[in-house]
Amino acid sequence: MRVLIVNYEFPPVGGGAGRASWHLCRELARIGARVDVVTSHGTRNFYYHLEGARIYSLKVRRKSVHETGIRGMAEFLIRAFFLIRRLVRENKYDLIHYFFSIPTGLLSFCVGRSLPFIVSLRGGDVPGYNPGELRTMHRLLTPVNRLIWRRADAVVALSDDLGRFAKQIEPTLNYQVIYNGADTHLFQPSEIPRNTGGPVRILTVARLLELKGIQYLLEALSQLPKDQFHLSIAGTGYFETALKRKTALLNLTDSVAFLGPVAHHELPRIYCHADIFVLPSYGDSFGQVFTEAMACGLPIIAARSGGVQEFVENGINGFLVPPKDVKSIADAICRLASSRDLRNKMGQNNIQKIKSQFGWDAVARQYADVCNHILERRN
């Protein structure tokens, strides 16, 4: 099977969807697929091999390492249009897999209907799911988005929550849920015992955006004794200045550390140094950082919103709290902070859950099954 994957973000730029496409192309190649990837980078055009896959990366001006912006998306569409048409002429692909229906799925119109394609819904590409600077673009392109979903041979949603939201926009939509995996080779529990004394170490890892809900975590911590916890925040984003200002206003400066950008390969060390992972996001379709933290044996506190509800069971491997509910966040932290046994039990439950359900090899096989089903149906 020969597959072309198209995603405007790919490591080292972008977020969870970029890393997901990186893992997917690598695992598909390992099980025998021939994989090409069209993506973008911030500095130059270049081509390289990645463990059996060929990567074509186009120069696109980005707002930052993590954010493409509308102009960057437009540049990618223009440059990718010509590259994809050439690659399709030169290679006998069996199908194309577009990460994001908007903007990437727009490129499906340049190929025609002879080549089947899959669209992966990631969250920000579904109108209204996590509105931000793309709100106006979504309003204009919703009819086009619906047409892309109808034309696709398969639509894969990152969570059932996201798929159900998309179905409200396009009632005829049939979708399949395939979760992101966790890199269990990189993210593993520490062999060194966790905190045996001193403040409880709380961690959050995220792009610092308003919808990540970290402002509510700070407010919750301001209600707790400051000598009993320490919060580390890993990541950058436009909301960082506001969060630092709030930290100072709440008199939390000595109890909160902003770590800035952390390289992906450094994240396991940070996870394994923590006792609790907290991210009260109210706009994530999945949240890759949750599965990374779970793989490292951390109990989770998350908002009852988005896809995280589908793999965090309240009271079993973490706590789910109402979105933006400061008191509930504080109460959940207190429950975990007061019981090392509860933290360890939930952490072990998470390790087992990740091993049994979220390996990238299993995720790749699910996508391969979707591809094979499409090709059988076409033939």
Q: Are 243 and 217 in contact (CB under 8 A)?
A: no
Residues facing 58 on adjacent strands: 40
pLDDT at site 130: 75
User: How far is the C-alpha of 370 from the C-alpha of 266, rounded, in Å?
Assistant: 33
Please give the single-letter amino acid code of residue 343.
R
Instruction: Please determine whether the domains at 2-181+359-378 and 200-357 fall in the same fold group of CATH.
Output: yes
If you ran DSSP here, which 8-state letter would residue 314 be given? Answer: B
How far apart, in Å, do the first and last CA atoms of the chain sit?
A: 14
pLDDT at site 62: 74
pLDDT at site 134: 63
Low-confidence ranges of the chain (pLDDT < 70): 42-44, 63-66, 131-136, 193-196
Query: Residue 48 has which token pair?
Result: 């390289």
pLDDT at site 379: 77
User: How far is the C-alpha of 116 from the C-alpha of 173, rounded, in Å?
Assistant: 17
Q: Write the CB contacts of 111 (distance below 8 Å, at least 6 apart in sequence).
A: 84, 85, 88, 96, 117
- Indicate the helix (H) or strand (E) that contains 234: strand 229-234
- Domain ranges (residues) in the chain: 2-181+359-378, 200-357
pTM listed for this prediction? 0.88
User: Under CATH, to which class is 200-357 assigned?
Assistant: alpha beta
Query: Residue 140 has which token pair?
Result: 């204009």
Q: Of 189, 192, 193, which Cα lies nearest the Cα of 353?
A: 189
Q: Are 127 and 97 in contact (CB under 8 A)?
A: no
C-alpha distances in Å from residue 70, one per residue of 60, 103, 127: 11, 9, 15
Q: What is the CATH number of domain 2-181+359-378?
A: 3.40.50.2000
Q: Are 24 and 3 in contact (CB under 8 A)?
A: no
Residues facing 176 on adjacent strands: 156
Ramachandran sector of residue 156 (left: φ over 0; alpha: ψ -120 to 50; beta: rest): beta
User: How far is the C-alpha of 251 from the C-alpha of 224, rounded, in Å?
Assistant: 12
Q: Of 226, 274, 6, 25, which Cα lies nearest the Cα of 119?
A: 6
Residue for token digits 């992906």? Answer: 264
pLDDT at site 124: 85
CB-side exposure of 92: number of CA atoms within 13 Å? 1
The contacts found for 111-116 with CB under 8 angstroms, 24 or more apart, are: 111/84, 111/85, 113/151, 115/88, 116/153, 116/374, 116/375, 116/378
pLDDT at site 51: 82
Query: Residue 280 has which token pair?
Result: 């009260």
